[in-house]
Chains A and B, each alone.
Chain A
Amino acid sequence: MRVEDFDLFAKFVYQRSGLVLTKEKAYLLDSRLMPVARRWNFKDLGELANALRSKSDEALLADITDAMTTNESSFFRDQKPFDQFRQVVLPRFLQARAATRRLRIWSAACSNGQEPYSLAMILDEEASKMPGWTIEIVATDLCREVLEKAKQGLYTQFEVQRGLPITMLVKHFTQIGDKWQISKQMQGKIKFQQFNLLEPMTALGQFDIVFCRNVLIYFDPATKAKVLEGIGRQMPPDGILYLGGAETVLGVTQAFKPMDGQRGLYVHGSAASTSAAVPGVTPAATAVR
């Protein structure tokens, strides 16, 4: 690939999605954009670059960006964050929202849907503790292709074996050929929607719990800070933010700080000390399986 074409693609993808493509990732650009070029009947990436220069077709621009996203995910990814959700986060909001009985959750880079569906399955198991509650799960991603897959809830045998306990497979999935589809009931619990984290977030409304996992790693520090600060404005003072295992707010923004004793969970930077926030739940009792 010509250097000026690489620079063009990298700059375009960065501006549109925040994804940083370094020179070492040139091979990635190659292998991911070739299928796009073929789909649009260009003979090589040089022609695709020319088409991009003319900025003619919005669908082409979206295809190029989509192709550069990494959509790796799994059910109950890393397990522990979901144990914390069941044992720490949910009990906390059951108390804090007892008056309104409303809870809003945002899966902010939901990929193929495993993350929001994992939450929906936990909420289904805990449903008896939440009679009359209105719980909304909004799941968004930049990439249209993964959103389509997420909405269908159709997974390969390989995907349903990574992280999903067999009892949940039996309870919530039906087999279609060699694939597995999640129930209409679970699908109905989630609102899927395309959303770019670089765009203004106000229209999405307020969220008590935000999962923003394994997407900030692809951004540069300034973009990370901007996205985190944006998310902070969509959360009430006692909101809880989840980041991925390799992500942190430390050294990135003051908008959030780590939640005491809960690895991977974050609260508003201005929030009072959090450890005593759940009366009766001592750190020992909340220890994760």
Chain B
Amino acid sequence: MATCLIVDDSRVVRQIARKILEDLKFTCTEAEDGKKAQEACSKAMPDAVLLDWNMPVMNGIEFLRELRKMPGGDKPKVLFCTTEADLNHIKEALSAGANEYIMKPFDSDIIQTKFSQVGLIG
């Protein structure tokens, strides 16, 4: 079963995302900021990271840059999931190594197609 780390400072968003991803048969873990996400990844690399941008302590893009430098950190598919909905943010995310980009608000349909586009759902 594929694993997904959900990184968002909003507990509600994490809960909604978790429900959708568990329905898609992912095993989920959560982190509330980039720092906690980094710690989680150093213990066990997930198959996917659903990543918010704006968070306290360490934001999403900083986390992504750190992740891609970690051993095995090139492996997880990273899907941004953020209210930042302009081309500049999207381009910055892609050049930092993001695989997909979801603009909030999202629904289960969007999550499902994005996860299948990065090859995590058959």
Task: List A residues at the B interface (Cβ < 8 Å).
Answer: 79, 157-158, 161-163, 165-167, 169-170, 174-175, 178, 289
The complex places the Cα of A161 from the Cα of B81 at a distance, in Å, of: 12
The interface size bin for chain B is 10 to 19
Asked if B53 is at the interface (CB within 8 A of a chain A CB), the reply is: no
B94 touches A79 (CB 8 A): no
* Cβ A166 vs Cβ B113 within 8 A: no
For this complex, 18 residue pairs linking A to B, each with C-beta atoms less than 8 Å apart, are: A79-B113, A79-B116, A157-B85, A157-B103, A158-B110, A161-B102, A161-B106, A161-B110, A162-B110, A166-B94, A166-B98, A166-B101, A167-B94, A169-B90, A170-B94, A174-B87, A178-B85, A289-B119
Chain A residues near B90 (CB-CB < 8 A): 166, 169-170
Within residues 78 to 93 of chain B, which ones have a CB less than 8 A from any CB in chain A?
85-87, 90-91
The 10 closest A-B pairs by CB, nearest first: A166-B101, A161-B110, A175-B87, A165-B117, A166-B100, A163-B113, A157-B103, A170-B90, A162-B113, A157-B85
Nearest-CB distance from A82 to chain B (Å)? 11
Q: CB-CB < 8 A to A162: which residues of B?
A: 109-110, 113
Interface string of B101-122 (1 = CB under 8 A from A): 1110010011001101101000
Which residues of the partner chain B approach A289 to less than 8 Å between Cβ atoms?
Answer: 119
Q: Which residue of A lies closest to B85 (CB)?
A: A157
**Chain B contacts for A174, CB-based, 8 A:** 87
Closest B residue to A79 by beta carbon equals B116
Complex Cα distance, B103 from A162, in Å, reads 11
Interfacial chain A residues near B117, Cβ < 8 Å = 79, 165
In the complex, what distance in Å separates the CA atom of A70 from the CA atom of B116? 26
Q: List chain B residues, Cβ under 8 A from A167.
A: 94
Q: Which residue of A lies closest to B100 (CB)?
A: A166
- Assuming the A-B contacts A161-B103, A165-B117, A175-B86, are A170 and B91 also in contact, with contact meaning beta carbons closer than 8 angstroms in the complex? yes
A174 to B91, CA, bound (A): 12
- Taking CB atoms, residues of chain A closer than 8 Å to B85 are 157, 178
B87 touches A170 (CB 8 A): yes
The complex places the Cα of A37 from the Cα of B23 at a distance, in Å, of 43
Shortest B96–chain A CB gap in Å is 13
Residue of A nearest to B93 (CB): A166
Question: Shortest CB–CB separation between residue A243 and chain B, in angstroms?
Answer: 21
Q: Which residues of B contact A169 (CB under 8 A)?
A: 90
Interface centre among B86, B98, B106, B109 (most CB of A within 10 A): B109
- Residues on A with C-beta less than 8 A from B101 are 166
Tell me the bound Cα distance from A178 to B90 in angstroms.
14
In whole Å, how far is B92's beta carbon from the nearest beta carbon of chain A?
11
- B residues near A166, Cβ cutoff 8 Å: 90, 94, 98, 100-101
Give the residues in chain B near A165, CB-CB below 8 Å. Answer: 100, 117
CA distance A235 to B114 in the complex (A): 35
Q: Who on chain B is nearest to A163 by CB?
A: B113
Q: Which residues of A contact B110 (CB under 8 A)?
A: 158, 161-162
Distance of A175 Cα from B113 Cα, bound (Å): 22
Q: How far is the CB of B109 from chain A (nearest CB, A)?
A: 6
Name B15-56 residues within 8 Å CB distance of A.
Answer: none
Measured CB to CB, the closest approach of chain A to B87, in angstroms, equals: 5
Q: Given A170-B91, A175-B86, 17 other A-B contacts at CB below 8 A?
A: A79-B117, A157-B85, A158-B110, A161-B106, A161-B114, A162-B109, A162-B110, A162-B113, A163-B113, A165-B100, A165-B117, A166-B90, A166-B98, A166-B100, A170-B87, A174-B87, A178-B85
